[in-house]
Amino acid sequence: MPELPEVETTRRGIAPHLQGHRVTRLIVRDARLRWPIPEDLAIQIEDQTFTAVRRRAKYLLMDIGGGTLICHLGMSGSLRLVPAATPALKHEHVDIELDSGLTLRYTDPRRFGAMLWQRAGEVHPLLASLGPEPLSEEFDGARLYQLSRRRSMAVKPFIMDNAVVVGVGNIYATEALFAAGIDPRREAGRISWARYDLLAGEIRKVLARAIESGGTTLRDFIGGDGKPGYFQQELFVYGRGGQLCKVCGTTLSECRLGQRSTVFCRRCQR
């Protein structure tokens, strides 16, 4: 599943080609995504000009006309820019044709993504209860410490909770916990303020590095500029169960937390 850095990479890739450009036509080949594409979406965006392309958690927010087009890439979705005359292939469900001659094309083999509409002045229910962005000033170790008190759940699923902080998915939670030296199985409520302060810093660092590297290429993800990400070359633990720790040489262990595979080092993480 594309995570926050992949979504941010896509945002940076498509924003210069959308902002200031007018939608000439919307083509919906298959509206059956996770939620049906609104039937009146063409009325909302055709002949309107994109004014901004933002990101909130893993949602892309494209401001246009009287509202915002909300896009989520789901498990296998991607957005890319192609010449308007490019024939559509299987699983290429939506085209947004622009006055520049380019088309923003949405592809989603599994159709777990979403393309929804938010009217100006409203907040879509999917965005209403989200926690702070991990790279913002609102997120820090004090927040993690305060929200974790009396919580018996493991720390990894705790920091993956979007009400605590948004966008810390499986890959980057695994990597940040390793960098902070924290065992992902530890109870969230039994971790000190100092260790949470360290963890918050490592979450920011790992996400910032991944964004600058273009994200992590897994399965079907391709950035909005057509270029894949390369952060996977820097992974210390994610997907490396049974291999040797790059720091101490111990064989990395693997378990399941919150129905997610979790790799960690028994020596480096406590």
pLDDT above 90 coverage of the chain, percent: 85
Mean pLDDT, residues 71-95 taken together: 94
**pLDDT band (50, 70, 90) for residue 213:** confident
Does the pLDDT value for residue 217 go beyond 80? no
Does the pLDDT value for residue 221 go beyond 50? no
Assign 67 to helix, strand or coil: strand
List, in sequence order, every residue forming a beta bridge with 107; answer none if it has no partner: 78, 92
Whether residue 17 contacts residue 81, with contact meaning beta carbons closer than 8 Å, is answered with: yes
Does the pLDDT value for residue 172 go beyond 50? yes
Residue holding tokens 């901004």?
52
Query: Was 267 annotated as part of a binding site?
Result: no
Listed in order, the ranges of the chain carrying CATH 1.10.8.50 are 141-264
pLDDT at 228: 52
Cα 230 from Cα 269, distance rounded (Å): 25
pLDDT at 226: 56
Whether residue 24 contacts residue 99, with contact meaning beta carbons closer than 8 Å, is answered with: yes
Does the pLDDT value for residue 66 go beyond 90? yes
**89-93, Cβ contacts within 8 angstroms, sequence gap of 24 or more:** 92/29, 93/28, 93/29, 93/30, 93/31, 93/33
Mean pLDDT, residues 152-179 taken together: 96
Q: What is the pTM of this model?
A: 0.88
Q: Half-sphere exposure of residue 144, counting CA atoms within 13 Å on the CB side? A: 32
Query: Was 55 annotated as part of a binding site?
Result: no
Mean pLDDT, residues 245-261 taken together: 95
Mean pLDDT, residues 163-178 taken together: 96
Mean pLDDT, residues 50-79 taken together: 96
**pLDDT band (50, 70, 90) for residue 232:** low
Query: Was 151 annotated as part of a binding site?
Result: yes
Q: What is the largest CA-CA distance in the chain?
A: 59
Among 123-127, 219-223, 240-244, name the one with the lowest average pLDDT: 219-223
Structure confidence by residue, pLDDT tens digits, 91-114: 999 999 999 999 999 999 999 999
Mean pLDDT, residues 34-54 taken together: 97
C-alpha radius of gyration, the chain, whole number = 20
**pLDDT band (50, 70, 90) for residue 135:** very high
Does the pLDDT value for residue 212 go beyond 90? no
Kindly report the CATH number that applies to the domain delimited by 141-264.
Answer: 1.10.8.50
Mean pLDDT, residues 72-86 taken together: 92
Q: Which residues are catalytically annotated?
A: 2-3, 58, 260
**pLDDT band (50, 70, 90) for residue 249:** very high
Q: Of 55, 45, 44, which Cα lies nearest the Cα of 21?
A: 45
pLDDT at 229: 55
Give the list of residues 6+ apart from residue 249 with CB closer than 8 angstroms, or none: none
- The CATH topology of domain 4-128 is N-terminal domain of MutM-like DNA repair proteins (3.20.190)
Does the pLDDT value for residue 126 go beyond 80? yes
